[in-house]
Structure 1
Amino acid sequence: MSSSSTFQRTSFVRRALLSMLGLLALTVLVMTALVIRHDHPLDIPSDQSRWDALALPDAQPPAGLSFTTFLTAQSAGAPEGLIVAGGSWFTPRRPVQFAVLIRHPKGNLLFDTGLGLRHAEHFAENTWWHQQLFAYTMYTPVKTQLTQQGMADLPLRWIVPSHMHWDHIGGLQDFPATPVWTPLRERQTAAQGRPPAFLATQFQGVQHWLNLEFTHPPVLGFDQSHDVYGDGSVTLLPLPGHTAGQVGMLLTLPSGQRYLFTADTTWTLEGIQRPADRSWLLRQVLRLDHSEPQNQQAIVHLHQIARRFPALKVVPAHDERVYETLPRFPQFAD
């Protein structure tokens, strides 16, 4: 082969590589411009009179009421900019999957279960792509943690899933005799759902379903609520949007400290504080919400509550930074 032919081929390869790099750079610039354009705080109503008039509901939490949490798993991680609009693309975040146990004289309640004993079997229902996308580090299921502390027979009156996505109900089958309390619409949507959001094997073995209905007076701007024990200590709130029947929970301790568990309305506290949805880019890749407009309304609603009551501890379901401030089993807070 002549030196001229070699030179021509080398030049062609170089031009091709430069063209590919140029195309890649252009793609990155276009995507960056789109993210910047779309990843902005959600609109807040200019009239704040409705929110300024909000009051925290009366509550008489009984002596003996306490709560703890169980860390069951943690995401492999992603840039914060992907998890919340406006977040840093250079800050790694590792969302957590945890459960909340409330001990009450009238019966114990488990809010979410995190991942359970059969997590590997359930997760295998996903495609290879989704298994990589939702990769996690498994820690210890709730059932195992209870057993390790000699509390395997702890009576549970109810399990209340915040919603029925796979990372919130993975432990349902570990407590087969415990009634599961959820809005009928949420259960129906889950039964018709598909991976990766809904994994049917997680809830097919539930023996007792209870329909959660919001028939009690308005609380914190929500039109209806459900006072679990009748003393205001645990109030369930309708938070549809992320799923058809997602549920939030307001917890009041004997100490007076209050917690608002906001499920997956946002994955981070920053999403409520700004307020902001998950990244526009991620929302193009995955269908994250049952109703995106409804979920964004819920984000703004929670933002207004957090602004009105700064002492209220707001707890998104996956924020690892907030989780570090919560009691962790076997320690309880009262």
Structure 2
Amino acid sequence: MRKLIVLSLLSTACASLPPAAPHAFVPPPSPGTPLQVCWVDTGGLTAPGGYGAGGSTIADTWEVTSAALVIRHPKGDLVLDTGISPHAQEEKRELGAWKRFIFSQTAGRNVPRRNLKDALTALGVTRPKALLLSHVHADHAGGVASLPDVPVWLAAEEKQLIEAELEHPHGVALPAHARALKGRMVPIPFEAEPYANYEARFDVFGDGTVVVVPTFGHTPGSVATFVNMSPTQRFVHVGDLINLRESIERNVGKSWLMRQFTDEDLARTQAEVAKLVQLHARDPELLILPAHDRRAFVELFGADDGEVPPCIGVSPTTPSAK
């Protein structure tokens, strides 16, 4: 594996991204609804920095979180990604030999931390309005089975991927997770209306606080989610388009190794990363939050060192599951 890390570094030493195509920028409206967001760190690990981003990384190590975000809004509680399953090592046994190897080098290396269902109880969340998946990889969809009666929102393309996996498993999603998603998937109703530098959007609550955009490539239906808590506190959860936030400043993608292991469409994923670089240039105050960059989560939420997961923002007084 050490040789693979060296190969990854050599392959991406000068791998700067080509610029994204010029695109008009639509500034986000100011949110006017109280919002609280909490970080549930379901698992993680420490890896060499060279795993996380292309070229010579600033970070010596990549501190990984496999996280769920609990977004508390007056219209209901939304869970963005569900982290790694506490039963992941048992669930991987249904995979073929090659996919088991890939899993063991990626999501399967997570050491369990918080249980999602227990974390929701600690936060006082009884039944979320929905689960929203950035994509269906095991370290994002691992908690779906623990909340069996909650609808799961995901892009139509991701729904089609799961339906195909149920018919003919290829290991893009763990079979146990695909079965847990069956009959619960609700396609995200994207509207052809520009948002930031994207062509389509889905305004979850209709008030500009949580807006989902398509970023297809890492998986056929992977998405990014803008969370606008106030004019000065805004972030975009970008799933696995990048692994370390420094990729945006350095204009590089993920390491060669992680691209080969995890991206379904390499070229399209790199084009989406270039759009993130473009977005950062147009909106530098927006925090770009990679799904597995634990340091970025700690910077935003504070350290996770208590019984209740760390939160930011103002909790709505009367959250509803409607």
TM over 0.5: yes
In 2, Cα distance between the equivalents of 1:272 and 1:323? 16
Tell me the residue number matched to 2:216: 240
2:161 aligned with 1:182:
no
Identical columns (%) = 27
2:35 aligned with 1:56:
no
Tell me the residue number matched to 1:24: none
Equivalent residue letter for 2:312: A
2:242 aligned with 1:266:
yes
Equivalent residue letter for 1:171: G
**Deviation readout 1:71-100 (Å, 9 max, x if unpaired):** 00003x332223211134992223210001
Asked if structure 2 preserves the Cα contact closer than 8 Å seen for 1:130 and 1:196, the reply is no
Structure 2 unmatched ranges of 5 or more = 314-322
Tell me the residue number matched to 2:62: 93
Asked if structure 2 preserves the Cα contact closer than 8 Å seen for 1:159 and 1:180, the reply is yes
Higher deviation after alignment, 221-230 or 79-88: 79-88
**Deviation readout 1:114-147 (Å, 9 max, x if unpaired):** 0234333323434463454131211112102233
Tell me the residue number matched to 1:19: none
Higher deviation after alignment, 311-320 or 153-162: 153-162
Asked if structure 1 preserves the Cα contact closer than 8 Å seen for 2:245 and 2:296, the reply is yes
Q: Which has the higher contact order (CA 8 A, sep 6+)?
A: 2
Structure 1 unmatched ranges of 5 or more = 1-26
Tell me the residue number matched to 2:317: none
Equivalent residue letter for 2:139: D
Higher Cα Rg: structure 1 or 2?
Answer: 1
**Deviation readout 1:181-212 (Å, 9 max, x if unpaired):** 11121122134345654102013134522111
Asked if structure 1 preserves the Cα contact closer than 8 Å seen for 2:148 and 2:180, the reply is yes
Q: CA RMSD in A?
A: 2.7
SS in 1 for 2:218: coil
2:41 aligned with 1:71:
yes
SS in 2 for 1:253: strand
Matched residue count: 296
Asked if structure 2 preserves the Cα contact closer than 8 Å seen for 1:274 and 1:303, the reply is no
Equivalent residue letter for 1:189: L
* 1:119–1:61 distance in 2 versus 1, CA, 3 Å: farther
In 2, Cα distance between the equivalents of 1:96 and 1:68? 14
* 1:196–1:268 distance in 2 versus 1, CA, 3 Å: farther
Tell me the residue number matched to 2:18: 43
One of 264, 267, 283 as aligned partner of 1:293: 267
Aligned positions of 1:109-128 closer than 5 A: 109-126=78-95, 127=97
Tell me the residue number matched to 1:82: 51
In 1, Cα distance between the equivalents of 2:232 and 2:11? 42
**Deviation readout 1:280-301 (Å, 9 max, x if unpaired):** 34545x3x21211111110010
- CA deviation after TM superposition for structure 1 residue 217, in Å: 1.4
In 2, Cα distance between the equivalents of 1:253 and 1:241? 28
Tell me the residue number matched to 2:287: 313
Equivalent residue letter for 2:179: Q
More strand by share: 2
